[in-house]
Amino acid sequence: MRVVLIDTSGSLPQDMVERIRSRIQVGDHVLMFDTQVYDAGVMRSKDQIDSFPLMGGGGTSLIPALEKVRSLNPSETICFTDGYIFDAHQCDFSGIGFHAFILGVNKSFALETEQKVSYII
């Protein structure tokens, strides 16, 4: 199973978050995060992907989201974020097939976490 983590913190523009929907596939388990984790569940249809409510808007902490991801035991974890995550350097990314897609130009996330990162500008 693939988990899709979506950064829904206040630093990420709403239109950018909406564009992430096109990257979600039927069968993906979708989690949103700011300082809390919001579980949208497994996407069963394209209609569900297009309509699940986006939740968040606060600061950005990845540790609670990664704890939830671990409990799901995914084969792959895709994270869409602007990279402005205050606890990124403290995160354990092992064993969850983590790959971040950075929306924007914040290069510090890759440097701080030594994770595989792709940039979407």
Question: In order of start, what are the domains of the chain with their CATH numbers?
Answer: 2-120 (3.40.50.410)
pLDDT of residue 82: 81
* Bigger pLDDT: 40 vs 96: 40
Residue 35 has pLDDT above 90, yes or no: yes
pLDDT digits (tens, 9 = 90+) for 57-98: 999 999 999 999 999 999 999 988 887 888 877 888 888 888
Percent over 70 (pLDDT), the chain:
83
Q: Encoding tokens for residue 46?
A: 């394209």
